[in-house]
Amino acid sequence: MNHIISVLVENKAGVLAKISSLFSRRGFNIESLAVGPTENDEISRITIVVNAEKHGIEQVVKQLYKLINVIKIQELDPLNIVERELVLIKVSTDSKTRAEVLEIVNIFRANIVDVGKKSLLVEITGTRSKVNALEEMLRPYGILELVRTGKIACSRGSKS
Amino acid sequence: MSKITGAQMLLKCLEKEGVDVIFGYPGGVMIPIYDAIFDGNLRHILVRHEQCAAHAADGYARATGKTGVCMATSGPGGTNLVTGIANAYMDSIPMVAITGQVATGVIGTDAFQEADITGITSPITKHNYLVKSIEELPVVVKEAFYIASTGRPGPVLVDIPVDVLKSLIDKNTKVEVKLNGYKPTYKGNLRQIKQAAKKIFSSKKPVIFAGGGIISSGASSILTEFAKKANLPVITTLLGKGCFPENDELSLRIAGMHGTKYANLAFTETDLIIAVGVRFDDRVTGKLSEFAPEAEVIHIDIDPAEIGKNIKTNIPIVGDAKSVLKDLSNEYEKIISSKGNTDRSEWLGRLKGLKQKYPLKYDRDSKKLKPAYIVEKIYEVTKGDAIICTEVGQNQMWAAQFYKSSQPRTFISSGGLGTMGFGLPASIGAKVGRPDKTVIDIAGDGSIQMVSQELATAVTGKVPIKIMLLNNGYLGMVRQWQELFYNRRYSETCIKNCVDFVKLVEAYGGVGLRVKEKRDVEGAIKKALEINNLVLVDFWIEMEENVFPMVAPGAPINKMLEDNK
Ligand SMILES: Cc1ncc(C[n+]2csc(CCOP(=O)(O)OP(=O)(O)O)c2C)c(N)n1
Ligand SMILES: [Mg+2]
């Protein structure tokens, strides 16, 4: 099962390496990982999606807490969060298919952010399932390149 | 404003932390530090290989309870420390390792003797630092000692580039430590503790299972008090040896692969394990699914990650062993003062019976030179009052089985990592920390050859340790497994007659004695203790003697192999 773990860390050199190596050392495979500074620039947030069973996750969270630069860890409840991922998809198009692709992009409320002679660059933000659905729709036209940010998430309501 | 160099600042910070000795080895980028040492009052013990600087610092820490300090140069110096750091990490020993690094400007360019030592040691340190500017240095040193010695102790590495060591800083720089992500829990949750006290009170067949955590938190006397008050038998781990007097009636000594049969059987029959400062290592539990099938578990540990890691816990208590045991003992007192003490005579009687039925044994009447006999004689001659260090292998297990420890910090052995070559440098560190004590390394002929260059350290550093070498001409523990599980195919384990150990120690300026006969054992031990120098006694023991009882790897711990020779 996929778990979303949100980790607040001190914004110092080497912290990300320590965290990611802890996952691999304990035998966990990271599905996605997103890092960036928070409202406080001495603190960064790392959002990690990892596939594991419950006991394994509890163990890894406890081990993460032992890292000196880790300040706080939340395992986000998938039913009570807003999760987003930004994906850039470069689709191959020609004069015949361009209109169809544009229509699909509109339906998904995605954006065209670059136009090439033989391609369109599509930007979409959303949940993984929405992104995956768009990817499936565009696949028949030929996906030249696909880049994703990795998932970020925030719990709903005022509590942080 | 008076300025000093980074190297001078480092020494000043070490002194402030109460450091009185460093175990180290110099190199190019370390010269600024060694230059400062040249004028200072800080004692430096020059080892002959950096691994042994770490092991010596480790032995010093185990013997004294203080944080051990070791030091090495960049590149190969740092990588040579790695085994010693990993050893300290596995056994939760407070240590600060200082390495020199190439100048900040060339880090990342594969400069001469550059190694990414913070990267390399990240999985084997509690924390590590690369000091990027002189301003950080005093803060980092302070944090390093704080982190190493608090919570669950462990090694911290501080990597300092040579330009930082050479640059100048105001002598009286203010140091402010800010560790937002580090707040170990010392006080246990009182509700849980009350529940635990009740559970212990109503248990018919409880045991305390005490580990290295008791020793690092200084909880031996409260543990002993509580065990006696509540009539609780005590089993320890190898690292817990000495935290409860092993000659006490309530002691079941150590459990596990080569533990006592009565301890292992007690685990199998107990209805309640009160585990304190242990991590249920596989060498103790044997086959996990059959470990302590009847038992509920109270697990007290300062590291929440250990609780529930290997076995299911009914009452988890996160906290410092000493503080929690104090509270637990108080709560227990309250219960018994209103309800009266529980009668455990049936359970204690049962255990007494097991002890009589399955004592640790060897053929006492044999004319041959038995290692167990030698260890027993060492125990007798030292009246159980020495600090015993061990190497790894059969020698370690014989030492653990036949030397009864009754004080914390007197049995020093590589547990988690099982590092051959630990004992000699660790005994040097222990003796430096406790010059008042007799310090003995019970050694194996294989292990000692991994570090025999440290004989020089003992002689030139004037550290008169005693090495009791149980020389069987084999990598004995591996040979034992080959005998038992690989049809006596002794592949690459015979090392006999490869060196004359008496001559070897004499070549370094120490004293060598050789014993081949049982009747000479006691005299040689006494003589070794009288000489104020490094002494190695080369005991030519029976070559194919085995350590029994034994739990085969992967087997349940109540199924122990016995000696049937
Ligand atoms: C550094 C290291 N290498 C290999 C081993 C594997 N090993 C464990 S015990 C042992 C034999 C030890 O031989 P010796 O020191 O003579 O002790 P004995 O068992 O004979 O008492 C070996 C090779 C180890 N524990 N540590
Ligand atoms: Mg041997």
Chain B residues at the A interface, defined by Cβ less than 8 Å, are 118-119, 122-123, 126-127, 130, 132, 147, 179-182, 303-305, 308-309
CB B230 within 8 A of CB B332: yes
Nearest-ligand number for the alpha carbon of B83? 1
Atom of ligand 1 nearest to the CA of B480: 19
Residue B356, pLDDT above cutoff 80:
yes
Contact list, B122 vs chain A (CB under 8 Å): 14, 17-18, 21
- Residue among A157, A155, A156, A134 at smallest CA distance from A146: A134
Return the best residue to mutate from B471, B475, B546, B547 for the ligand 1 pocket (most ligand atoms within 8 A of CB): B475
Is A59 within 8 Å of B309 when comparing Cβ atoms?
A: yes
In which element (H, E) is residue A143 found?
Answer: strand A143-148
Please spell the DSSP secondary structure of B317-365, one letter per residue. Answer: EES-HHHHHHHHHHHHHHHHHHH-----HHHHHHHHHHHHHS-----TT
Q: Indicate whether A115 and A134 sit together in one domain.
A: yes
pLDDT on residue A26 = 85
Cα–Cα distance for residue pair B147/B126, rounded to 1 Å:
8
Residue A53, pLDDT above cutoff 90:
no
* In a domain? residue A88: yes
Return the best residue to mutate from B283, B374, B397, B420 for the ligand 1 pocket (most ligand atoms within 8 A of CB): B420
Domain end marker among A15, A47, A76: A76
pLDDT on residue B317 = 98
Atom of ligand 1 nearest to the CA of B445: 16
Cα–Cα distance for residue pair B143/B129, rounded to 1 Å:
10
Please tell me the distance in Å from A77's CA to the nearest CA on chain B. Answer: 22
Atom of ligand 1 nearest to the CA of B472: 20
Percent of all residues in chain B with a pLDDT value above 70, rounded to a whole number: 100
| Structure tokens given for B415 | 């547990």
With CA atoms as reference, the chain A residue closest to B123 would be A22
pTM over 0.90: yes
Who contacts B44 (Cβ-Cβ below 8 Å, separation ≥6)?
B21, B22, B23, B24, B37
Is A63 within 8 Å of B305 when comparing Cβ atoms?
A: yes
Cα–Cα distance for residue pair A107/B463, rounded to 1 Å:
81
Q: Indicate whether A56 and A102 sit together in one domain.
A: no
Return the best residue to mutate from B451, B477, B492, B501 for the ligand 1 pocket (most ligand atoms within 8 A of CB): B477
Q: Nearest Cβ partner of A25 from B118, B123, B127? A: B123
Cα–Cα distance for residue pair B156/B151, rounded to 1 Å:
13
| Structure tokens given for A56 | 């394994």
Query: Residues B370-409: pLDDT tens digits?
Result: 999 999 999 999 999 999 999 999 999 999 999 999 999 9
Q: Give the model's confidence band at B177: pLDDT under 50 very low, under 70 low, under 90 confident, else very high.
A: confident
User: Which amino acid is present at B133?
Assistant: S
Is B180 within 8 Å of A63 when comparing Cβ atoms?
A: no
Who contacts A121 (Cβ-Cβ below 8 Å, separation ≥6)?
A88, A89, A90, A91, A112, A113, A114, A115
Residue ranges in B218-314 assigned as alpha helix (H): 220-229, 261-269, 282-285
Cα–Cα distance for residue pair B217/B323, rounded to 1 Å:
9
Is A17 within 8 Å of B179 when comparing Cβ atoms?
A: no
Q: For an interface test with B, give the residue of A66, A70, A72 to mutate (most B CBs within 10 A).
A: A66
In which element (H, E) is residue B428 found?
Answer: helix B423-433
Is A71 within 8 Å of B180 when comparing Cβ atoms?
A: yes
Cα–Cα distance for residue pair B37/B43, rounded to 1 Å:
8
Nearest-ligand number for the alpha carbon of B475? 1
Query: Residues A112-149: pLDDT tens digits?
Result: 999 999 999 999 999 888 999 999 999 999 999 999 99
Contact list, B304 vs chain A (CB under 8 Å): 62, 65
Please tell me the distance in Å from B122's CA to the nearest CA on chain A. Answer: 7
For residue B552, give the DSSP letter.
P
**Mean of the per-residue pLDDT values for chain B?**
97
Is A68 within 8 Å of B119 when comparing Cβ atoms?
A: no
Q: How far is CA A109 from CA A106, A124, B355, B472, in A?
A: 5, 8, 77, 78
Tell me the mean pLDDT in the region B347-367.
Answer: 97
Domain end marker among A56, A76, A96: A76
Q: Indicate whether A91 and A107 sit together in one domain.
A: yes
- Residue among B499, B495, B479 at smallest CA distance from B487: B479
Give the residue carrying structure tokens 């049995």: B411
Q: Indicate whether A72 and A91 sit together in one domain.
A: no
Q: Cα B417 to the chain's mean position, in Å?
A: 10
Q: Indicate whether A56 and A105 sit together in one domain.
A: no
ipTM of the predicted structure? 0.85
* In a domain? residue A159: no
Q: Indicate whether A100 and A138 sit together in one domain.
A: yes
| CATH number, domain with residue A137 | 3.30.70.1150
pLDDT on residue A54 = 83
Question: Dihedral, CA atoms, B343, B344, B349, B351, nearest 10 degrees?
Answer: -170
Using the Cβ of A67 and the Cβ atoms of chain B, whether some distance falls under 8 Å is answered with yes
Is A14 within 8 Å of B118 when comparing Cβ atoms?
A: yes
Give the residue carrying structure tokens 């007659």: B497
pLDDT on residue B565 = 61
* In a domain? residue A142: yes
Residue A28, pLDDT above cutoff 70:
yes
Instruction: Tally A–B CB contacts below 8 A.
Output: 39
Query: Residues A72-90: pLDDT tens digits?
Result: 999 998 889 999 999 999 9
Cα–Cα distance for residue pair A121/A153, rounded to 1 Å:
25
Who contacts B98 (Cβ-Cβ below 8 Å, separation ≥6)?
B10, B24, B33, B69, B70, B71, B72, B157, B158, B160
- Domains contained in chain A, number: 2
Q: Indicate whether A60 and A122 sit together in one domain.
A: no
In this structure, of A47-61, B15-29, B70-84, B226-240, the range with the lowest mean pLDDT score is A47-61
With CA atoms as reference, the chain A residue closest to B304 would be A62
Please tell me the distance in Å from A15's CA to the nearest CA on chain B. Answer: 10
Task: For residue B418, give the 3-state DSSP assignment.
Answer: coil
| Structure tokens given for A72 | 């706080």
Q: Indicate whether A134 and A103 sit together in one domain.
A: yes
**Mean of the per-residue pLDDT values for chain A?**
92
Is A59 within 8 Å of B147 when comparing Cβ atoms?
A: no
Residue A160, pLDDT above cutoff 80:
no
Q: Indicate whether A116 and A69 sit together in one domain.
A: no
Query: Residue A151: CA atoms inside 13 Å, Cβ hemisphere, count?
Result: 24
pLDDT on residue B89 = 98
CB B411 within 8 A of CB B41: no
Q: For an interface test with A, give the residue of B89, B101, B122 to mutate (most A CBs within 10 A).
A: B122
| Structure tokens given for B350 | 């049962």
* In a domain? residue A102: yes
Instruction: State the residue range of the domain holding A10.
Output: 2-76
Tell me the mean pLDDT in the region B479-483.
Answer: 98
Q: Give the model's confidence band at B26: pLDDT under 50 very low, under 70 low, under 90 confident, else very high.
A: very high
Residue ranges in A28-112 assigned as alpha helix (H): 54-65, 98-107
Cα–Cα distance for residue pair B455/B428, rounded to 1 Å:
9
Cα–Cα distance for residue pair A134/A128, rounded to 1 Å:
10
| Structure tokens given for B544 | 């194919």
Please tell me the distance in Å from A34's CA to the nearest CA on chain B. Answer: 20
For residue A79, give the DSSP letter.
G
In which element (H, E) is residue B464 found?
Answer: none
Task: For residue B470, give the 3-state DSSP assignment.
Answer: strand
Who contacts B15 (Cβ-Cβ below 8 Å, separation ≥6)?
B41, B42
Tell me the mean pLDDT in the region B519-541.
Answer: 98
pLDDT on residue B490 = 98
Task: For residue B93, give the 3-state DSSP assignment.
Answer: coil
With CA atoms as reference, the chain A residue closest to B305 would be A62
| Structure tokens given for B359 | 């004592």
Nearest-ligand number for the alpha carbon of B393? 1
| Structure tokens given for B155 | 């090694």
Please tell me the distance in Å from B370's CA to the nearest CA on chain A. Answer: 43
Cα–Cα distance for residue pair B11/B44, rounded to 1 Å:
12
pLDDT on residue B508 = 98
Query: Residues B90-126: pLDDT tens digits?
Result: 999 999 999 999 999 999 999 999 999 999 999 999 9
Residue B501, pLDDT above cutoff 80:
yes
Q: Cα A9 to the chain's mean position, in Å?
A: 18
Is B304 within 8 Å of A58 when comparing Cβ atoms?
A: no
Domain end marker among A76, A96, A112: A76
pLDDT on residue A2 = 87
Query: Residue A109: CA atoms inside 13 Å, Cβ hemisphere, count?
Result: 4
Q: Indicate whether A21 and A38 sit together in one domain.
A: yes
Q: Nearest Cβ partner of B180 from A10, A22, A65? A: A10
Q: Nearest Cβ partner of A68 from B119, B123, B147? A: B147
Name the most confidently modeled range: A36-45, B178-187, B445-454: B445-454
| CATH number, domain with residue A43 | 3.30.70.260
The CA angle A40-A44-A46, to the nearest 5 degrees, is 145
* In a domain? residue A44: yes
Using the Cβ of A58 and the Cβ atoms of chain B, whether some distance falls under 8 Å is answered with yes
Cα–Cα distance for residue pair B245/B85, rounded to 1 Å:
30
Q: Give the model's confidence band at B1: pLDDT under 50 very low, under 70 low, under 90 confident, else very high.
A: low
Q: Indicate whether A87 and A68 sit together in one domain.
A: no
Using the Cβ of A13 and the Cβ atoms of chain B, whether some distance falls under 8 Å is answered with yes
Q: How far is CA A55 from CA A74, B259, B273, B311, in A?
A: 16, 30, 22, 12
> Ligand 1: which residue has its CA nearest to atom 17?
B444
Q: Cα B264 to the chain's mean position, in Å?
A: 22
Q: Indicate whether A42 and A106 sit together in one domain.
A: no
* In a domain? residue A160: no
Contact list, A67 vs chain B (CB under 8 Å): 127, 181
Residue ranges and CATH numbers for the domains of chain B are 3-170 (3.40.50.970), 190-357 (3.40.50.1220), 371-548 (3.40.50.970)
Q: Give the model's confidence band at A158: pLDDT under 50 very low, under 70 low, under 90 confident, else very high.
A: confident
Nearest-ligand number for the alpha carbon of B471? 2
Residue A29, pLDDT above cutoff 90:
no
Residue ranges in A37-120 assigned as alpha helix (H): 54-65, 98-107
Ligand 1 neighbours (beta carbon < 6 A):
B 391-395, 418-420, 444-447, 470, 472, 474-478
